[in-house]
Structure 1
Amino acid sequence: MPLTKISAPRHLSSSKVKALAEAVQDGLVKTCNVPPNDLFQLISRFDAEEMILDPHFGGVNRSGDACIAEIVFLTGRTDDQKRALFRHISDRAVEAGFRADDIMIALVENSRMDWSLGHGVAYADHHSKA
């Protein structure tokens, strides 16, 4: 059950940012066994001065088109699945016109106890009753 937050420069077209969002969801489905309809994404747009990203940290050359995808999901994916996810997202983003250096991805893992899908009920409690 992932929650994806995409931070993108305001000057990028909506269609280009949507393509990145689709790349992330496609990667989650194809590499991490996420159901296709398990889709929760938040997209935030920022002016250039509001995205302070080191242009060279990590051995890359980020441009003014750099985006960050933060994915919060349940623990349990292997390192190989995570590597495949990174590669898949990057490859799909490049197909959509991004540079590979401009796609940064951060994964955050947690447990079912860390989510509530609504009604003030922990997902861990809801899931155990299903």
Structure 2
Amino acid sequence: MPLTKISAPRHLSSSQVQALAAAVQDGLVKTCNVPPKDLFQLITRFDTDEIILDPHFGGVNRSKDACVIEVVFLLGRTDDQKRALFRHVAEQASLAGFRADDIMITLIENSKMDWSLGLGLAYADLHAKAK
């Protein structure tokens, strides 16, 4: 049940940003054991001057098309799964016209107690009742 946030420049086409969103979900499913229907994405578009990213930090060459992807999900993925996710998303995004240098991904892990899916209830409590 990851929550994916994609920050993209406004000048990119909607279809290109949707392809990036699809690449992220596909990567989560194929590399991190996320069920295909666990799809929660927020896409935010920014004017060029509202995305401030060092163009060369980390040994890459970011362009004006750079996007930032944040994935918040439950603890439990291995370092190899995370590496595979990064590669998969970059490869799939490249097929959609992105440069791999323009795909920045950050992962944030937490526990079931850190989520409420609604009704003011902790996911940990719902999960405990289901057992």
Per the normalisation by structure 1, the TM-score is: 0.99
Query: How many equivalent residue pairs?
Result: 130
Q: How does 1:33-72 map to 2 (within 5 A)?
A: 33-72=33-72
Unaligned runs of 5+ in 1: none
The residue aligned with 2:112 is 112
3-state SS, counterpart of residue 88 of structure 2: helix
Distance 1:127 1:120 in 2: 14
| Deviations 1:28-57 (CA, angstroms, capped at 9, x unpaired) | 000000000000000000001000000000
- Equivalent residue number for residue 19 of structure 1: 19
Residue 7 of structure 1: SS of its match in structure 2? strand
Paired residue secondary structure (2:39): coil
How well do the aligned residues superpose, as a CA RMSD in angstroms? 0.3
Task: Map 1:76-91; keep pairs closer than 5 Å.
Answer: 76-91=76-91
Letter in 2 for 1:33: N
Unaligned runs of 5+ in 2: none
User: Partner residue of 1:8?
Assistant: 8
Q: Separation in 2 of the partners of 1:129 and 1:33?
A: 23
Overall identity of the aligned pairs, in %: 80
In the alignment, the residues of structure 2 paired with residue 119 and residue 47 of structure 1 have an alpha-carbon distance, to the nearest angstrom, of 35
Once the 2 structures are TM-superposed, how far is the Cα of residue 114 of structure 1 from its aligned partner? 0.1
Measured in 2, the distance between the counterparts of 1:125 and 1:87 equals 35
SS of equivalent to 1:97: coil
The answer for the alignment partner of 1:94 in structure 2 is: 94
Aligned-residue offset at 1:86: 0.3
The whole-number CA distance in structure 1 between the counterparts of 2:32 and 2:59 is 27
